[in-house]
Chain A
């Protein structure tokens, strides 16, 4: 409860710390230097608007540019069209004028120069009619003769008509007249009309005779048509004129006038009709003699059209007095140019897109930078959290360690009291579990070390099998409770003692087995260890199957869905099942028989598989199994607890051991984790020196016994055999009781062939429960009847769990009082066997506490020198060692010790204080070693077979047990150290390496259990 509260407090503290960090970082974030874009981030939308405005104006500019080009072109077109029209009009006009001129010359030539006149009205009419095509612009021509008033009567008589005015009245008397005498048929109605009576005509006539050139009237409505027209007048002279005649001479010589009416309107219409682009432009022709009042000659004054653009072209019709001009403009206003519009629009769109791209890029940069800052903040926060986590872990683990040490201490004391073997086993298990818990707490702390790369592996010899047994015992309660088969199998080829880091190895196994047990509800958890080269060999020889006839043929598969695994449940990886295991066993036998030794190699690479039939790992989670603090999903930790740190630590450790870890998992089927690890092999002589009991304290009372294992499941029986073999028991396997009976009981001859009766028969509970008890009784009966029995084999049940009723039934069926509970452990099996009276008898209640008993066996009769300058220490150390039967001598200084240790001496070991005046422990040790090596050299030189290997075990006694001191101890030639003041356990651990137990002095002649 207190611990829990401690945790809570830690957490709240943690949170507090967190929020502080956040605030600090926020402050930091605002202070941090921003980039250019960051500091102008508010400008980005404004810049976008500005950009769009720029784009709009630019597109408008582009539009106008193109439009202006269009206008220029349009104007050019207009100018050229207008000029073309004006020129053509002018040309045609002058052609007509020339022709009228020619007609005038014709009249003067044939009417006046010839006498009599060669022309009369008839001739003139015909001629003009026939040459009318040459004057398309003239309605008609007429000739008016100049008649003075004096000649009027004569003239009227000559022609038979009177001169009439334009209004067709008889002409009043004037100075002169100009009556039409010849006229083209088209204008015959003007015959006899006096041209001088019309105002326009009169002026024309006067101007024409004065200049001698073609003269035009201003436009007016023509007689006989509604078209506007002008009248052209040419003078006809009756005599030849001088080269440069004066006006008077001209007037004098004037005989008449030739006139023609130009129908300007139809003229221009005709002309325009012939030209392309007629529909596009509007043409007006003006008489601009009076510039302030232009008179329209052609076109409608008020006609619509594009007034914005017009072009004026000068027209010269040959009359210098009159000025004409042509004005052209388009009918249609200039259409808006689609090209310009499209171009401008596209320009705008491109600009807009560009602006948008820049805008979003800017935004993106801002966002990315924001994110970056956020990430940085989170990173700092995460690092702070990491620090907090480490601190939290350190504190919590310390808090847990303190009470755990109390628990362990009390358990140690409890072990010192009188306990039955069951109680002892429970207590030892509890102690082992407690120690493992402390180790686990340390291991959590290791995670930090691993992360920092500061973890170093030990390389000490250790017994792999007993470690595996220990780990199994950790989980035995749990697995029994769940009804799981929990078993370990180590191939015989794996050396007993390997060199490596036992703690770390244990850590990995504990983690993997712990996971498996945690996630498995039924079935089994199976740990299998073998050599890697071994597996390869086994796989190579897969084709051949080597097996004992008994177990092979007798494999009973009771259900269709039974798999050949430990529990019969399906496992994720088939490789771990019986098929592969039997190869390993077969291979072992092969090699054993052939006495092949692979021990030559320095290293042993072990393959460890932990197989379970649990819930498996979801496929989606399989790739992050080895990541720290990762579990399959959040519900996992809710249902099963755990931190998820274990596998990541295991992975690191396996990699440190030079191996690899991987797994095969099928959801709802199970997982198989396997890893390889490199261990050193211990050299033969090396572990002869070592006391084996340090590593595996299995009693040797069972050597040579024979056991029969009755088990239908080959894998399980292999496991049982493995444990029995470790106890030195020879094992036969039978797959059923009937088979067993068949092996031994045939024909009643119990010693048939080389079969020796077993001392123990181990029966798997499943097999017994499944109804074979009848057979069993029959078998026992049969044996009894035969009466050949020397002694009955002990029948022992092997079970994962058993109820009281079943136990009683078993007893009734003849089983022994003890049930061997799984998971099997060699030491536990031994204890059970002893309990039923197999092997050495034990005397319950008389056994001494473990350590003292062992110490006695180790130290009894040994001569030990204690060197310490402190009298009290010396006396206490001596007292402690004497207590365990050692023969103790003391020396109070290094020098005194050197005197005592002059070779040859008969001391078995030496305990040396380190800190002494004059000569400290290191120095003394160095000198002792020097003496020894000199002596050894001497002996070797004499060739005495190298027997004189002087090496006195020297153990340092020191109060501080820091690592550096230990290193220095080893450096100066010491063999180990004992922390001062002595504790039994420490002392035993230190000396056990150097002395083998002396059985005759075991525990003051009392029998020891283990």
Chain B
């Protein structure tokens, strides 16, 4: 039991860190609340969906932004919007913020800034992915140790 409570406290501090540094927000908490016995992997499912989508979208955007000649900003903007929607759905607030900035630059058709935003987006997504993977690993460890995952609000 000692290990479990240690894991739990680690989990709690890790989660509050995530909230504190703005990787995730209240929506992520809502998401966790939606997960119950009938739907045990809901969060992981949604999050992996998100990362699949985001990878796809980021790749598409990178390709679109490569050739400045045939650049369709509207298409990029749509991608950004998609990503923004899904990131706000899972509560990935930092990704969402980058998306907001990206969208503005996209509307302004500022190629250089768009590229920069894309880089940042990539970075944030990867970072978030790592963080969440760690989180899920922790959760699994707790479950494996026979404890319950504490649900905590920011």
Contacts and interface: CB of A to CB of B under 8 A. Distances in A.
Interface of A: 413, 869-873, 875-877, 879-880, 882-883, 913, 915, 917, 959, 980-983
B6 to A, nearest CB: 26
Contacts, number: 61
Given A413-B153, A872-B46, A872-B50, A883 B36 contact: yes
Nearest to B47: A872
B39 interface: yes
Contacts of A981: 27, 30, 88-89, 91
B116 to A, nearest CB: 24
B90 interface: yes
Contact of B89 (A413, A872, A882): A872
Interface in B6-62: 27, 30-31, 33-36, 39, 42, 45-46, 49-50, 53
Interface stretch (B63-71, B79-87, B120-128, B136-144): B79-87
A876 B81 contact: no
B86 A873 contact: yes
Contact of B86 (A870, A880, A915): A870
Contacts of A869: 82
A413 B154 CA distance: 12
Nearest to A880: B34
Given A915-B81, A917-B78, A879 B88 contact: no
A869 B85 CA distance: 10
Contacts of B30: 880, 981-983
24 contacts: A870-B89, A872-B50, A872-B53, A872-B85, A872-B89, A875-B46, A876-B34, A876-B90, A877-B89, A879-B31, A879-B34, A879-B35, A879-B39, A879-B46, A883-B34, A913-B85, A915-B85, A959-B85, A980-B88, A980-B89, A981-B27, A981-B30, A981-B88, A981-B91
B35 to A, nearest CB: 8
Q: Which 5 A-B pairs give the minimum distances between C-beta atoms?
A: A872-B86, A876-B89, A879-B34, A873-B89, A872-B50
Contacts of B153: 413
A917 B85 CA distance: 14
Contact of A870 (B27, B35, B45, B53): B53
Interface of B: 27, 30-31, 33-36, 39, 42, 45-46, 49-50, 53, 78, 81-82, 84-86, 88-91, 153
Contacts of A983: 30
B88 A959 contact: yes
A278 to B, nearest CB: 124
- Which has the most chain B C-beta neighbours within 10 Å: A875, A915, A917? A875
A721 to B, nearest CB: 44
A671 to B, nearest CB: 46
A917 B46 CA distance: 22
A576 to B, nearest CB: 48
A915 B103 CA distance: 15
Given A875-B49, A876-B46, A980-B88, A882 B81 contact: no
Given A879-B46, A880-B34, A980 B85 contact: yes
Contacts of A880: 30, 34
A870 B46 contact: no
Nearest to A882: B39
A959 B87 CA distance: 12
A880 B36 CA distance: 11
Contacts of B49: 871-872, 875
Interface residues of chain B: helix, strand, loop or mixed (majority): helix
A397 to B, nearest CB: 24
Contacts of B42: 879
Contacts of B78: 917
A58 B124 CA distance: 101
A917 B86 CA distance: 15
Contacts of B45: 875
A890 to B, nearest CB: 12
A982 B30 CA distance: 9
Contacts of A982: 30
Nearest to A881: B34
A413 B26 CA distance: 12
- Which has the most chain B C-beta neighbours within 10 Å: A872, A959, A983? A872
B30 to A, nearest CB: 7
A865 to B, nearest CB: 18
A156 to B, nearest CB: 169
A876 B31 contact: yes
B128 to A, nearest CB: 13
A883 to B, nearest CB: 5
A883 B32 CA distance: 11
A875 B78 CA distance: 20
A913 B33 CA distance: 23
B114 to A, nearest CB: 20
A981 B42 CA distance: 16
Contacts of B33: 883
B86 A871 contact: yes
Contacts of B91: 981
A915 B79 CA distance: 12
Nearest to A875: B46
Nearest to B153: A413
A544 B65 CA distance: 87
Contacts of B50: 872
A875 B39 CA distance: 12
Given A879-B46, A981-B30, 5 more contacts: A871-B49, A872-B49, A879-B39, A913-B85, A959-B85
Contacts of B90: 872, 876
Contacts of A870: 53, 82, 85-86, 89
A523 to B, nearest CB: 46
A847 to B, nearest CB: 17
- Which has the most chain A C-beta neighbours within 10 Å: B34, B36, B81, B85? B85
Nearest to B25: A981
Contacts of A875: 45-46, 49
Contacts of B84: 959
Nearest to A982: B30
B58 to A, nearest CB: 14
A407 to B, nearest CB: 16
A750 B85 CA distance: 69
Contacts of B27: 981
A506 to B, nearest CB: 28
B25 to A, nearest CB: 10
A1005 to B, nearest CB: 16
A882 B33 CA distance: 12
Contacts of A872: 46, 49-50, 53, 85-86, 89-90
Contacts of B82: 869-870
Contacts of A913: 85
A982 B88 CA distance: 10
A980 B35 CA distance: 18
Contacts of A413: 153
B26 to A, nearest CB: 9
A913 B84 CA distance: 14
Nearest to A871: B49
A879 to B, nearest CB: 5
Contacts of A882: 34, 39
B23 to A, nearest CB: 16
A871 B53 contact: yes
A879 B50 CA distance: 14
A880 B46 CA distance: 12
Contacts of A915: 81, 85
A350 B63 CA distance: 102
A820 B106 CA distance: 62
Contacts of B86: 870-873
Contacts of B34: 876, 879-880, 882-883
A883 B84 CA distance: 24
A870 B88 CA distance: 11
A980 B81 CA distance: 13
B60 to A, nearest CB: 13
A872 to B, nearest CB: 3
Contacts of B85: 870, 872-873, 913, 915, 959, 980
Contacts of A873: 85-86, 89
